[in-house]
Structure 1
Amino acid sequence: MFDPLKISPAAQLNSAARFSPPVDAAVAGVSLLNIIRYALFHIVFALLGLGLVTSANSAPMPPVSGDIRGLWVNHALREKQKFAVWIDDCEGRLCGRIYWLKKPLAADGQPKQDAHNPDDTLRARSLCGLNILDGFHRVKQNSWAKGKLYNPLDGKTFDAAINLLQDGSISVRPYIGTPLFGKTLRWVRTQKTLPKCDSSS
């Protein structure tokens, strides 16, 4: 009696190969393509889960408002905050004045003054309320240029540009000649109430 269990494994494989129907090349190609598509789908799905790929249907980041008027402090870290500037509209251009100083008083207990101003007739004016930004006009939705920044620490005035960033902070870049030769300062909205410095205190 014929007993298939007594046929060697090699013989079984040869027999299966002889009786297996031929695989059409086109069918094989389609199957391979489906496998690739399946793998890519799961790869993209995994990346979406990690946040490395943005879906076409995902909500974009909300646009930043183009209004930068108000109070800005010079650093995000509270321990490094030294001054705050109030930016406002000045006859169609943006200007900014010193609103708050961490140390408003000089060593003699008097309000700090604009002691380094190149114009000696202005050196007695108080730093509190001093206008240090002037003449900025909007060039793009979130950009202002052709302004001036006055640095009371050395009495120098620089050309400057301001950009509102996506995170809500602003970059203030004073420069000489061209923005390539400058330094970018990052100011943030203050998260606490700051007392307005008093020039007469």
Structure 2
Amino acid sequence: MKLLKVGFYLFFLVYSQSSFAQNTQIADRIVGTWFSENKDLKVEIFKKNDKFYGKVVWFICDPKTPNMEDFKDTENPDPKLRSRPWLGMQVVDNLTFNGKDTWGNGTIYDPNSGRTYDSVVRLKDANTLIVRGYWGFEILGKNMVFYRVG
């Protein structure tokens, strides 16, 4: 009887660890660089301590405006942050993997308006990311589509 219990315990331990490793691989599928649908923004999604974050790595500048390196977070409600550059700015925070190709419980910051929105991210397929920013209720949000950079 003890042998049966030990065998069951070992089976459960091996199964749960392989399941955890598989979930980690699935969760990590959003890691990488993503190009906005309008091809005017690139965001790098990275993982830190089992949460996912995104930072701006490139964007298009209007010829009448400063260079990409000169854009500052001038609309930020916190005056101390208004001098930080857009380039390299962390705009996606604290996403957690919810299963079934969905990450949520995070926020998205819009440097154009200085507003932070709740967010949910869905992987439509291996190379298409649907990012939804919303305020209060997900149904009242807006989608942004991103494509994986090759």
Write the distance in 2 (CA, Å) between the matches of 1:167 and 1:117.
33
Q: Determine the structure 1 residue equivalent to 2:100.
A: 141
1:71 aligns with 2:33: yes
Query: Offset of 1:123 from its aligned partner?
Result: 0.5
> Given the alignment of the two structures, is residue 116 of structure 1 paired with residue 87 of structure 2, yes or no?
no
Inter-CA distance 107–168: structure 2 relative to 1 (3 Å threshold): closer
Q: Do the aligned residues in 2 keep the contact of 1:105 with 1:112 (CA within 8 Å)?
A: no
Amino acid at match of 2:48: C
What corresponds to 2:42 in structure 1?
A: 84
The 3-state SS of whatever aligns with 2:54 is strand
Q: Secondary structure at the match of 2:80?
A: helix
Q: CA deviation at 1:65?
A: 8.2
- Look up the equivalent residue of 1:141 and give its one-letter code: K
Inter-CA distance 123–190: structure 2 relative to 1 (3 Å threshold): same
Q: Deviations over 1:155-197 (max 9, x none)?
A: 0000000000136301000011121110111100124xxxxxx
> Is the contact made by 1:72 and 1:188 (CA closer than 8 Å) also made in structure 2?
yes
> TM-score scaled to structure 1, two decimals?
0.57
Q: Is the 8 A contact 1:104 1:112 kept in 2?
A: no
Q: Show the 5 A alignment for 1:33-182.
A: 67-75=29-37, 80-103=38-61, 107-109=65-67, 111-166=70-125, 168-182=127-141
Counterpart secondary structure, 2:131: strand
Judging by fraction of residues, say which structure has more strand: 2
Q: CA 1:108–1:168 in structure 2 vs 1: closer, same or farther (change >3 Å)? A: closer
When normalised by structure 2's length, the TM-score is: 0.75
Q: Greater Rg, structure 1 or structure 2?
A: 1
Taking the TM superposition and a 5 Å limit, the aligned residue runs for 1:173-192 are 173-191=132-150
What is the CA-CA distance between 1:108 and the residue it aligns to?
Answer: 4.7
Question: Residues 93 and 106 of structure 1: is their aligned pair in 2 closer, same or farther, counting only changes over 3 Å?
Answer: farther
- Displacement of 1:87: 0.1
What amino acid maps onto 1:100 in structure 2?
W
The amino acid that maps onto 2:65 is A
1:108 to 1:73, Cα distance in 2 relative to 1, 3 A: closer
**Aligned-residue CA RMSD (Å):** 2.1
Q: Is the 8 A contact 1:86 1:99 kept in 2?
A: yes
Q: Which has the higher contact order (CA 8 A, sep 6+)?
A: 2
Q: Runs of 5+ in structure 1 lacking a partner?
A: 1-63, 192-201
